[in-house]
Structure 1
Amino acid sequence: MGVNWAELKAVGGERQTADKGCFPNEPVDDLVAKLRRYSDWFGLLAPKADADREKAARRQGVAVHGFRLWSRIYPATGREGYVPVAFVFTGRTKAQRASRMRRLEQAARSYFAGTKYPGGDITAVDYHQGVPVVVTELERITADPAGAAGPVWRRLGREEWQTLSEALDNPDGERSYRVQEEQSRRRQMEREAAEREAQRPVCTRCGTKFADERWLWVRHHPRLPHRDLCDPCLDEHHEQVRAEKAARIQAEEAVAREAAAAEAKKNRSLFRRR
């Protein structure tokens, strides 16, 4: 059919590949049971694998697979999740085939759906612990000029029919998470910066917001005088104080000189009278 079945190897109790191990005429419950066995098998630890390190690696996505038995038997897929499983439906009517695929999708969701990455504004899905499941119809493959290489596959959990590579890709998976995580981090930094900016003091003299250095200084010196003034206004204040002090000294000196002059004049007058 032109399908790269090596990409679709699935592991169950019989260690069968997807094209030989899936029987679409079986009851949906049996197909779900197969997926359950695949999922259980994929979770088995490799011999001598460290269970504690495996548990910690689950938070690192793909790193966890290095501790699992399946990764010692099958090559890495290059995608999140376990080795994919394919079901090819045939026979009966188109409506009946569609109904069986929908029933399989509903019943097996816990095995393929993945989980949402943490974060209130994150929509990406963590597929690392999921079994990618693609379905198609033999009738759809034979009707497409490209056969199995055409857009005849539907990934369970999606609506569109895609090529096999497209169906197995995870555009809403880890790649999306990394982008959303960076966007979320940037938005958080912007919110924190806005909140911080809203708390920035304003000079009571000129109405200008404090520069970072001045703000940091007054925060670390709670008893600092004139905490309500920015640096330029504080400089003006000190200059004004110096000017007023100089003027006061000058005035005091002028008064002293006048008093001294008056005393001298008085003494001269007394001398003349004698």
Structure 2
Amino acid sequence: MNNIKYVVAGALVLLGVLVLGGTLADPAPKATDQASAAAGGTLRIGVDGTEPAFYKVDGVAKGFDYEMALGVAEGMGVKPEFVVMGFGDLFPALEAGKIDVIGAQVTETAERKEDFDFTAPYFVTYLSFLTPEDSDIKNRSDVNGKNVAIVDGTIQERYLAEQYKDVNIIKAKDEDAAVSAIQSGKADAFFYDAPYTAPIIKRAPIKLKEAIVYPADDAPISFVMQKGDNRRAQIDKALEDMILNGEWLKIKKEYFREYPLSEVFKDKGA
């Protein structure tokens, strides 16, 4: 979830690695340079265990970021190990060297780039407006003059303020509070990260629909690494190969078939 300018040579991002159901207490050995990675080292990928990035169905791991990481690991010739933790713990774990990369729908931002390196993008941020089923909001211009709820402190809050000048922002402490604002009539819509709206709609006490979904092409999603990690070039190459050989588009269609294709990837043969 997040914001910035498309960058990087090649195509998509990330390497695969993380300890399924693992812990940080006994970190796996890591491939510390390109030579060891090519020789079959291990890459530890930090994930937050949230659908659609990384989750399990009947004990089997699934997820868009998970499959992208597997593809990258294969391209690098390394063993992926997935380490599951809360999203807020991912960056400290990366800084401490407990994981090698983050693969959790992380939006590249200028602030984050000050402290971390980002691979080539493997997705972009998709934004959505959740509304009541009978709402007259059908396209982006319809939100002008409306009360729009956001989760306080999120990237979506800043993006809404920057891109929509004629909306009244209603701050909520979390997703459920934002839905409550719609239910009470305080908000006409809830602006949020599209890949994560399905469970919100499912548990909402009122009937909601995803009235608008669109890609934010200036908010790429990338794998995150420590500054100066020279494996980034390998990951970028693996991502580029996945885009050009059609594997990226196959994975995208499996998890986000209904999402319009971002301009970021149209010129990559996708």
1 or 2 for the larger relative contact order (CA 8 Å, sep ≥6)?
2
Same fold, judged at TM 0.5 (above): no
- Higher strand proportion: 2
Structure showing greater Rg = 1
TM range, smaller chain: under 0.3
TM-score (structure 2 length as normaliser): 0.21
